[in-house]
Amino acid sequence: MAQVNKQAIAAAFGRAASQYEQHASLQQHSADALLTLLTGRQFASVLTQAAARDV
């Protein structure tokens, strides 16, 4: 397994940090749009059925 260069990762995140806020609004808009598509779905029911099958 290849070793992880933690300094390189930290540097890359540091360079990109100034752009995070710019992209946050796009991510929030996308999440809001996706959530509207889920309105009315019964996920608890689906999860309950799936859990019952695994027992």
With respect to residue 45, please indicate whether it lies within any of the assigned structural domains.
Answer: yes
* pTM score, whole prediction: 0.41
Backbone angles phi, psi at 40, to 5 degrees: 90, -5
Is position 22 within any domain?
Answer: yes
Q: What percentage of the chain reaches a pLDDT higher than 90?
A: 25
Domains in the chain, number: 1
**Is the model more confident about 27 or about 42?**
27
The answer as to whether 1 is a domain residue is no
Average pLDDT, the chain: 80
Chain Cα centroid distance, residue 43: 18
Q: How do residues 43-55 score in pLDDT, each as one tens digit? A: 666 556 666 665 5
Give the 3-state secondary structure of residue 42: coil
In sequence order, which residues have a C-beta less than 8 Å from that of residue 41 and are 6 or more positions away?
none
End-to-end Cα spacing for the chain: 36
Domain that holds residue 17: 6-54
